[in-house]
């Protein structure tokens, strides 16, 4: 049985922390493309129904239960003596390849929608949903061992700083991705012909995939020692959950009601951040009249605000207010930002929307920093992969609900607008999405008041001891 690297006193260090964060930056860049650019193309240029867009993209998150399995698998089944990096590389190669394949498939489904051809359309929609499901599996395969690697390689004292820096690089990746889209696709402004859009987008995605693959290797090369070199007899606090079965892992994560409370909070918190994802760029296009490159820049503004919020919370707010108080503040600011986002459509002025996006990002950064620190506090180092998988499941589940519900609410709003003859303005359906999202943020705030960190640690600590005692017996 091997011990976790962190248990051996290995410090990750500032340079390696930043290097490891390059992978998160790559994920941020891809998130802009999938949650922003492709949503915009499918909704506005290819006229996909909102429910179809949200539903197809949600399949990426519907496979989220696999995160628990992949986390436990990376704990228990090393490749070439390493528990994390082989899974990260394999997952990255798979999701990069699937990202490139998504472009021709999206445009093929667009042509089938225009022709209304059956049963080819049904098969095309099924293929699109299947591709995004495979993409989600690949993301889960890479990201769950990745975060477990961060926990393995950091001590408890340095972990909050390391995670703060890594998530800042995630936000930097979002900003860079938005800028890259804006610069690379500027010549597409005003173009709606699919035959012109498809080759440009395919070439852009292929270049992004190659960069992501290269940066992932650079980010992780040499950061995980071979399991045989780590050295441990597998007893005491240094042991990892290599031999804990999936059934035992389930016993561990269901040992405390507080696990369910925090899991539910993560679902609502993340849903309160990302429910608008499927419709935001279309909101900017339909209500504010912004072109493709300009709507992509909204992600850069949101990302810069988030980066400022992450740093502000990590270096000033959390040390002064504490983790729970900062999380409450973050939820309150997110709620206020969503109300402002809905109100911005009443004036329909681009500068107003841009300011609101910066404020929304600032609120998201403050809330995300505190939520991540809480997540680390509620992750047992002896079962890092298992707990990371559970928290990843909560976040992925909420993103799936956000993508599906966001598009569905937009369609519902449009249907109600027609049913009650409320005019042809594109604004009311979008306002419905943002106000529902504000209600979700309020629910997360209420649930946060029921979280008890001490009770969580006591319950899960006792359960882990029982699991390990049974295993030794």
Q: What is the pTM of this model?
A: 0.68
| Closest to 124 in 3D by CA, of 114, 137, 138 | 114
For every residue of 195-259, DSSP letters joined together read: HHHHHHHHHHHHHHHHHHHHHHHHHHTT-S--HHHH---S-GGGB-STT--HHHHHHHHTS-HHH
pLDDT band for position 364 (50/70/90)? very high
CATH number for the region 13-229+243-466 comes to 1.20.1250.20
Q: What percent of the chain has pLDDT over 70?
A: 83
What confidence score (pLDDT) does residue 287 get? 92
C-alpha distances in Å from residue 381, one per residue of 75, 151, 243: 11, 7, 15
Q: Where do we find the tokens 């040499």?
A: 222
- CA 254 from centre of chain: 24
Report whether pLDDT(472) > 50: no
Per-residue pLDDT tens over the stretch 130-154: 998 999 899 989 988 898 888 778 7
Q: Would you list the domain boundaries of the chain?
A: 13-229+243-466
CA distance 397 to 217: 28
Q: For 195-249, how does the pLDDT look when each residue is reduced to its tens digit (9 = 90+)?
A: 888 888 898 899 999 999 999 999 999 888 766 444 343 333 344 444 455 566 6
Query: pLDDT value at position 227?
Result: 60
Burial class of 157 by CB neighbour count within 10 A (0 to 12, 13 to 18, 19+): exposed
Q: At what angle do helices 14-32 and 85-115 cross, to 10 degrees?
A: 10
CB-based burial, 372-382: b 16+ in 10 Å, e otherwise? bbbbbebbbbb
* pLDDT for res 190: 67
């Amino acid at each position: 049985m091997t011990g976790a690297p962190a248990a051996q006193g290995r410090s990750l260090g500032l340079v390696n922390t930043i290097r490891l964060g390059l992978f998160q930056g790559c994920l941020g860049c891809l998130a802009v493309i999938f949650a922003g650019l492709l949503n915009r193309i499918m909704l506005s240029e290819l006229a996909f129904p909102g429910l179809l867009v949200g539903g197809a993209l949600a399949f990426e998150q519907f496979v989220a239960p696999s995160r628990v399995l992949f986390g436990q698998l990376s704990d228990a089944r090393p490749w070439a003596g390493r528990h994390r990096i082989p899974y990260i590389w394999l997952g990255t190669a798979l999701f990069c390849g699937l990202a490139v394949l998504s472009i021709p498939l999206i445009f093929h489904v667009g042509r089938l929608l225009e022709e209304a051809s059956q049963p080819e359309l049904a098969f095309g929609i099924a293929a699109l949903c299947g591709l995004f499901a495979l993409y989600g599996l690949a993301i889960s395969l890479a990201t769950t061992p990745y975060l477990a690697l961060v926990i393995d390689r950091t001590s408890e004292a340095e972990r909050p700083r390391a995670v703060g820096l890594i998530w800042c690089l995630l936000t930097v990746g979002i900003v860079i991705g938005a800028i890259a889209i804006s610069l690379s696709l500027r010549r597409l402004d005003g173009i709606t012909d699919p035959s012109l859009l498809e080759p440009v987008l395919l070439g852009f995605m292929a270049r992004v995939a190659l960069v992501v693959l290269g940066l992932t290797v650079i980010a992780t090369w040499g950061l995980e020692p071979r399991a045989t070199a780590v050295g441990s007899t597998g007893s005491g606090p240094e042991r990892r959950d290599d031999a804990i079965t999936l059934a035992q892992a389930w016993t561990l994560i269901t040992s405390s009601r507080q696990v369910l409370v925090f899991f539910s909070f993560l679902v609502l918190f993340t849903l309160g951040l990302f429910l608008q994802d499927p419709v935001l760029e279309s909101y900017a296009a339909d209500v504010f009249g912004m072109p493709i490159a300009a709507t992509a820049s909204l992600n850069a503004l949101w990302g810069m605000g988030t980066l400022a919020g992450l740093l502000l919370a990590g270096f000033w707010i959390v040390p002064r207010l504490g983790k729970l108080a900062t999380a409450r503040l973050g939820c309150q600011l997110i709620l206020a930002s969503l109300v402002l986002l809905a109100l911005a459509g009443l004036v329909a002025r681009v500068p107003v929307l841009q300011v609101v996006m910066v404020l929304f990002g600032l609120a998201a950064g403050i809330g995300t920093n505190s939520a991540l620190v809480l997540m680390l506090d509620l992750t047992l180092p002896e079962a890092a992969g298992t707990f990371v998988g559970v928290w990843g499941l909560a976040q992925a589940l909420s993103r799936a609900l956000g993508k599906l519900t966001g598009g569905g609410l937009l369609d519902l709003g449009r249907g109600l607008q027609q049913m009650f003859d409320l005019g042809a303005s594109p604004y009311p359906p979008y306002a419905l999405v943002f106000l529902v999202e504000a209600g979700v943020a309020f629910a997360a705030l209420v649930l946060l008041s029921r979280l008890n960190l001490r009770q969580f640690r006591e319950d899960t600590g006792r359960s882990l001891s029982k699991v390990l005692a049974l295993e030794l017996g």
